[in-house]
Structure 1
Amino acid sequence: MTRVDRAAIFGAWVVAALVVVYLLTPLVVTVIVSFTSSTVYTLPPPDWSLRWYAALGRKSGLWGSVLLSFNLAFVSTVLSLVVGTAAALGVARGRFPGRGAVATFVVSPLMMPGLVVGVALLQFLRELGLRDAYWSLLIAHVVITLPYVMRTLLASVAAFDFSLIDAARTLGMPYPKAVLKIMVPNLAPAFLTASLFAFLASMDNYPISIFLTDARNKTLPIRMLQYLEETPDPTIAAISSLLILMALIALVLSARTVGLNRMMEG
């Protein structure tokens, strides 16, 4: 290895380290601030305290928003898995013209700013006469979670060897059972990866949800924005830290069940 090669590798590692620090610093600062004893955001904290975590139970409307966000994230993820799996199978196995256009259309919400998608969905749902906030939010969250599922599953479905299902059928196994016994276990990492991305994308969504909430149906990000406007104290950092912890737990459980390497392959 020449000196130029070693310098290039060293430079690449330096850039990678700077990117990691740039991405993780806001998360670390958020967690540190959540343990401060001060009533304002100060670094370093004058003293360590759990007062802001204890204050979460006294926050007006917080737990209702948490339950609503979990409900929307869970239901939209399940619906996106069903629709996204069918769409991925159709695009990967179908022989109809325009398959690429279908795949692009499904993932197109990721290509546009969230505010644009939010305004478009608001206008579209109002034209349909749908004014119920919960169902409007659910439809919107399916729209924003489906691209993650579709994009993740499409690559795995395209790489799956469907001759394994044909072999199982020649041995007498019914087609639905062959799919459940052979295809689903092989695609489990892709399903898990898609579910995690979809669930977290729904939980954290703000730019689309803000157009569809009402006084009785406010998702967690919208509720946090309300707190930031009315009472900007470190309870917001405590909520954010719990969301970070939730994402870490999801990654750890995924690593223990299927392994991170298989998830990346999915």
Structure 2
Amino acid sequence: MKAAATVAGIAGVPVDTAALLDWICSRTPPPRHSEGLNDPLSIAALMHFLLLADDSSDPVARASLNVLRTLLDDRAQAEMWGGDDLVRFGQTFREARKRLCVPYPSPTLLSVAERLLAVHKELEISPTEGRSVTTIDGRTLHVDPRSFGTVWLLACMLPSALAAAGFTLQHIPSFVWLPKFLSSGPAELAEELEAALGRTAALGLTELDRLERIVATLPSDLGVTRRSKLPTLMRLEASYPGLRVPAIARLLGISPQGAAKLAAQARSAVTVRY
């Protein structure tokens, strides 16, 4: 969720992780869906592209992605809320992924920075046409054409680029930071990436420590059988607090009635502070 919020900020559609969590846990529609803003793309489409770029072969990362996609059908959500965005950005996304994931001359941030800048120069998305809008009092307003940046697309694929270059041993989904405008040279961008990697690592360790503390507070004896899914649900709640019954049912493969009963058991077993 932090990665999605970071990429959304780069794309010019800022959201916070709480709003994303509400959507993922089926409590609300996608953030910004009804605010009437002239956004360059929908959050639903952005999330789909971000998850599409996650090609990690690490089993833990794949398991985490599978849990998220069980909660959120990102393709269906993107088609519902941002179908035009899939058409507008799809080909550019595929071209960028192809260019960023081919072998690099050296396993350095400088080589990654050089490739990012080269690919960015090649990417182009045609702006939409302007349009006229008539207000309720009869006035006609002209809305300027929307132009579309592509830095956020590169940010989605930055973890794959780092792994392809050999700079990281595996895909790091949370490392998606790029400056909003790629105006510096390769050396300057490499320095910015190095600083961002340090910040991302520190935040990741903080989040891991938080989750470990939560798991440590969970009761070890719940008075249930080994087949009970209650311990699993309580651990899932550490990452996705406030799961709704339909989401619990999908995650655990049980009926809505069973999910409701399990949720009640979890609430009565322990109160977890997040």
TM-score, structure 1 length as denominator?
A: 0.23
- Structure with more relative contact order (C-alpha pairs < 8 Å, separation 6 or more): 1
TM-score, structure 2 length as denominator?
A: 0.23
The structure carrying a bigger helix percent of its residues is 1
Q: Which has the larger radius of gyration?
A: 1
